[in-house]
Chain A
Amino acid sequence: MANTLRLTIVTPEAEVFSGEVDMVTLPGVDGELGVFPMHTPLMTQIEPGELVLRRGTEETHMAVGEGFAEITGDHVTIITDMAIEADSIDEAAVEEARRRAEARLAEKLSAEDAALVQATLARATAQLKVKRARKR
């Protein structure tokens, strides 16, 4: 068995990442989840938060949205509605989006719209968290 993980991250817009990594940390719904090669087959739901992937000594931080992760021995497949690398997050724009979402939540919304805005808010919050953690 290989001692690297083949990681694929796809969003509805594109395939964001595909390649070999040594380790990946996922924001699972039951808490953070570290995955090394030869992990036991696992299917999990992920929530908006931070994903870290390590190649050698190099670490990449990404903000991800809601989605699912499938882990099979040497493959990790993540499908999510958002995946952005920390370096390409535009903090000002995201902060703006978050404020708009919060403002919309204060209005009266149908259940459908409210869920949509909530999701946007969660995504924006996750992006900000990742970006700010990297700065310090």
Chain B
Amino acid sequence: MAGLRDIRRRIRSIKSTAQITKAMQMVAAAKMRKAQQAALAGRPYARAMNRMLAELLPTVTDFTHPLMEERPGGRRCVLLVSTDKGLCGALNSTLFREAIKFDPRETVFVAAGRKAAQFLARARRTLLAEFSYKDHPQFAEARAISRFLQEGFLKGEFHRVDVLFMNFVSTLIQRPEVLPLLPLREIRGVSSEPEGAELGTELLKGATEFLFEPGPERVLGALLPHYINFRIYQVLLEAKASEHSARMVAMKNATENANQLVKDLTLQYNKLRQAGITKELLEIATAQMAMS
């Protein structure tokens, strides 16, 4: 019975696929918890720094830092933060759908994560540099990306920098988000919380003059690059949390689908087997009747 053997083979192969996806689901679940914790733990710091700068920058009128300078026209640089590996559901395709919307003639890209680099090459976009980051993003990795972007910005290679990444909202929801990074003008939070509302009530609205110690050049000169570094670091954390959450959910679905398939195929297999046996019995009975 060729049909029977085919079905048996399919059942076996689907079962082993289910085993793999189940294992990946477990691994992703464990990593997800860690990544989510890291992303959530970084938020108070990011929030405090956002508030600080949001209060500070409007009061600084007699001094501008090069990182704050707005220059009209020119190219735009987008830092695209993706995953290194696939098998995480629609995460990357959702992200790339946003990325494709940028005008290729005016936009250059910097990739973080292998999938982003592959996508940009495939889509024939200008790729300036590719960075990688580990499963537990290190601050040093964020600093490397940040330094590249700041240098390019200061040299005038591009006149604004945005970050496109998957923002972590919850285990089930990750949203693509464009975050303006340079020039430093408006200060917005790297998280899904209604940052604007909170900022509005607590802000001093530039009513006070700040004293700087030691001097605005030194303080802003240290604070602004640090702010950019940390922002990118937080983006990496959020992207990692999104990746592991998406993978966990995708693998859970895959396992469930595989199990359902196995169930259906087993039913079909048993039906066929039963039909075979019945047919054989019938043949024997007929033969006996003919003999006697």
Chain A interfacial positions (CB closer than 8 Å to B): 8, 10-15, 28-30, 33, 40-45, 68, 70, 72-73, 77, 79, 112, 116
Contacts and interface: CB of A to CB of B under 8 A. Distances in A.
Nearest to A31: B213
Nearest to B216: A43
B55 interface: yes
Most B CB within 10 A of own CB, among A8, A11, A72: A72
Given A14-B41, A40-B211, A70-B56, A77 B223 contact: no
A72 B213 contact: no
A36 to B, nearest CB: 15
A42 B210 contact: yes
Closest 8 CB pairs of A and B: A44-B213, A15-B44, A41-B208, A42-B211, A10-B45, A10-B48, A70-B52, A41-B210
A43 B230 contact: no
A13 B136 CA distance: 13
Interface in B102-130: none
Interface in B37-72: 41-42, 44-45, 48-49, 51-52, 55-56
Contacts of B223: 43, 45, 68
Nearest to B211: A42
Chain A contact surface mostly: strand
Contacts of A44: 212-214, 219
Given A44-B219, A68-B223, A79 B210 contact: no
B210 A43 contact: yes
A14 B40 CA distance: 9
B52 A77 contact: yes
Nearest to A113: B140
A130 to B, nearest CB: 22
Contact of A30 (B45, B51, B55, B214): B214
Nearest to A15: B44
B216 to A, nearest CB: 8
20 contacts: A10-B45, A12-B42, A13-B42, A14-B44, A29-B214, A29-B218, A41-B208, A41-B209, A43-B213, A43-B223, A44-B212, A45-B213, A45-B222, A68-B219, A68-B222, A70-B52, A70-B56, A72-B208, A77-B52, A116-B140
